[in-house]
Amino acid sequence: MTLLSARSLRAVQRIKYEIRAAAGFGIAAVRAIEMPSEKAKENKTLIAICVACSKAVSTESMVSLLGREQDKYKQFDVCVQCANAGWRPPEFEGIYTPRPG
């Protein structure tokens, strides 16, 4: 037996062992793979860009104001700070009541 074939035999044995181990711990392995993505989903914070100050802001700290752009209604997402400071979209329709940011 040459050194090379001995090595490849060991590699085959290792692969066989890993397959058996993976089969034995099948459920745990699947969970281990799923968990990070589940976590990421929970931790995902939705961020949007404020159209007034161009800052990336959590959508929880934003308001959507209805205005018009090229004669079409459009929602303008701005941060609460900008809305409270008086920023309004072109042809703003409606009332904005300042709220704590």
Residue 83 as a binder of Zn ion (CB under 5 A): the answer is no
Query: Minimal distance in Å, beta carbon 95 to Zn ion?
Result: 19
Whole-angstrom distance, CA of residue 76 vs CA of residue 81: 14
Residue 47 as a binder of Zn ion (CB under 5 A): the answer is no
Q: Are 32 and 55 in contact (CB under 8 A)?
A: no
Residue 82 as a binder of Zn ion (CB under 5 A): the answer is yes
Residues β-bridged to residue 62: 79
Residue 53 as a binder of Zn ion (CB under 5 A): the answer is yes
The number of residues that bind Zn ion (CB under 5 A) is 5
Q: Are 67 and 74 in contact (CB under 8 A)?
A: yes
**CB nearer Zn ion, residue 48 or residue 68:** 48
Please report the sign of the dihedral spanned by the C-alpha atoms of residue 86, residue 92, residue 95, residue 100: negative
Q: Which residues bind Zn ion (CB under 5 A)?
A: 50, 52-53, 79, 82
